[in-house]
Structure 1
């Protein structure tokens, strides 16, 4: 191995490339979700605005898919181009999956805010909505990694999560971390850590993706 090759593969270079990718993907994520971020900033935090928050949440689906796609290539030197390539190529399929997920979560949140129902029913609805969002995020990861028909995605994700339950637990843990950041600090702190969270998401679902790759699929390149 040549000295230049060793230098390229040295720890300092790897750290520098990681930080570079972290910053670039963060900037791309913010730009992809900027209309939603501005809308959330301008909206009053009132239950009556829940449908508008749901509308803004649609922007985050394609941004998450593209972020996972950008992080998936560890040695990619142009994460900016990779991010937007993933955003464009997966937009239609991502929205086909993410729109009903957001609609269900929005409806559950609206009912929790205004419906006069027992607390146990509200808790059950919140748990169900959380499970739907978790499955939705797992589906976005699958879209970012493999080429499946949209009608097959549900079965693939359920197979993957059942085969690697620790991945589901890991995604749930990330949800809790993001929720804690929003509650204890600010939603803007969560946005500024989006690239880190996307990297952690990519790592967390590794076992699920490995199982799906082994048993079912053709990887996206």
Structure 2
């Protein structure tokens, strides 16, 4: 190994270089997340927060699923070595590989949540008793948490959609730490959006995706150990 190669290797393995590579990767992923979601999120920021807009909100959020999936793939696959940084290439590879599988999970999830949201908002108009609010909220929470598991599994593994759904429900119970962690992340995201706007949340998107990935590590480890060869 030449002196130059050894120098590059040491530079790429040091703690400062690992921090720098992580910051660089997060910045690149953030820019690509903004690029791939901007067509839907720009009108969403301008849209009024009225329950009647929920179906339109669901439609505008369709590009977000494949973008998050690509970001998960890039952050999972990218190593800390500064001599081999390629987050953009990994992002686009993940996007192309996962877009169809993610949409098969993401679009039904958005549709279900839109229907549940409209029914909650207009429960009186559709003739629902007030006590129906509790089961509808619980169903919405369950659908969202299952979708969080399913999105992670689809992004990092190559399973059939029905197997993804089975695993997402299975790990909802088997990995309570992952379930609680995802619930806290979703609560934080909802709080940021409510207090500020969707634009602020998007500026923190790559950090949020990294946190989502770290929360899901126990589930990822178990799937790799027990359901892959």
For this structure pair, what is the TM-score category when the shorter chain's length is used for normalisation? over 0.9
Corresponding residue for 2:113?
Answer: 105
User: Which SS does the other structure have where 1:33 is aligned?
Assistant: helix
Matched, 1:184 2:195: yes
1:109-188 aligned within 5 A: 109-116=117-124, 117-188=128-199
Query: How many matched pairs?
Result: 218
Name the CA distance, whole Å, in 2 between partners of 1:43 and 1:179. 16
User: Which SS does the other structure have where 2:141 is aligned?
Assistant: helix
CA contact (8 A) 1:161 1:208 kept: no
Deviation of 1:3 after TM superposition, in Å, equals 4.2
Name the CA distance, whole Å, in 2 between partners of 1:95 and 1:86. 13
Corresponding residue for 1:211?
Answer: 222
How big is each residue's C-alpha offset from its partner over 1:41-87, in whole Å with a ceiling of 9 and x where there is no partner? 33222222111001112111111111111110241611111111111
Q: Look at both structures and tell me which one has the larger radius of gyration over its CA atoms.
A: 2
Tell me which of 53, 63, 68 is aligned to 2:67: 63
How big is each residue's C-alpha offset from its partner over 1:84-104, in whole Å with a ceiling of 9 and x where there is no partner? 111111111111111111100
Name the CA distance, whole Å, in 2 between partners of 1:127 and 1:95. 23
Query: Higher mean Cα deviation, 206-215 or 67-76?
Result: 67-76
Name the CA distance, whole Å, in 2 between partners of 1:13 and 1:176. 33
CA contact (8 A) 2:150 2:164 kept: yes
CA contact (8 A) 2:45 2:199 kept: no
Deviation of 1:150 after TM superposition, in Å, equals 1.3
Matched, 1:90 2:101: no
Corresponding residue for 1:15?
Answer: 19
Deviation of 1:152 after TM superposition, in Å, equals 1.2
Tell me which of 6, 21, 28 is aligned to 2:10: 6
Unaligned stretches of 5+ residues in structure 1:
none
How big is each residue's C-alpha offset from its partner over 1:156-187, in whole Å with a ceiling of 9 and x where there is no partner? 22233333221111111100111121122222
TM-score, with length taken from structure 1: 0.93
Unaligned stretches of 5+ residues in structure 2:
none
User: Which SS does the other structure have where 1:111 is aligned?
Assistant: helix
TM-score, with length taken from structure 2: 0.90
Corresponding residue for 2:77?
Answer: 73
CA contact (8 A) 2:123 2:130 kept: no
